[in-house]
């Protein structure tokens, strides 16, 4: 009886060892142009925000958005709007 129990236990452990790697899922790839695009990303949000503010844009947050920069801008009335700018010139983009 003990012999059968040991064989069943060893068989279950072997099957679990085979099944576990099949359940492992690699992490999702980062979205190109996202803020979390890894260490190779050269987007400096603080610098871009500073540059927009120097141009008179009251940007409260910026992030890369494809080949554009998406900025959340606070208006004179306190409303926050989303605006897009060209990545290289920071000129307003008409999307």
Over the stretch 14-51, which tens digit does the pLDDT of each residue have?
555 555 555 556 666 666 555 554 555 689 999 999 99
Beta strand spans in 1-95 (E):
59-65, 68-74, 80-86
Dihedral angle over CA of 33, 34, 40, 43, nearest 10: 80
CA distance 76 to 60: 13
**Tokens encoding 45:** 């949000």
Amino acid 20: pLDDT: 54
Count of C-beta atoms within a 10 Å radius of residue 93? 16
86 compared with 12, residue with greater pLDDT: 86
- CB neighbour list of residue 63: distance below 8 Å, 6 or more residues apart: 34, 35, 43, 45, 69, 70
């Amino acid at each position: 009886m003990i012999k059968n129990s040991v064989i069943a236990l060893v068989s279950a452990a072997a099957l679990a060892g085979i099944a576990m790697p099949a359940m492992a899922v690699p992490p999702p790839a980062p979205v190109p142009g996202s803020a979390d695009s890894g260490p190779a990303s050269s987007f400096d949000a603080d610098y871009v925000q500073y540059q927009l503010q120097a141009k008179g844009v009251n940007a409260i947050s910026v992030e890369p958005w494809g080949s554009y920069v998406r900025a959340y801008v606070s208006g004179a009335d306190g409303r926050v709007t989303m605006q897009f700018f060209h990545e290289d010139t920071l000129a307003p983009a008409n999307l």
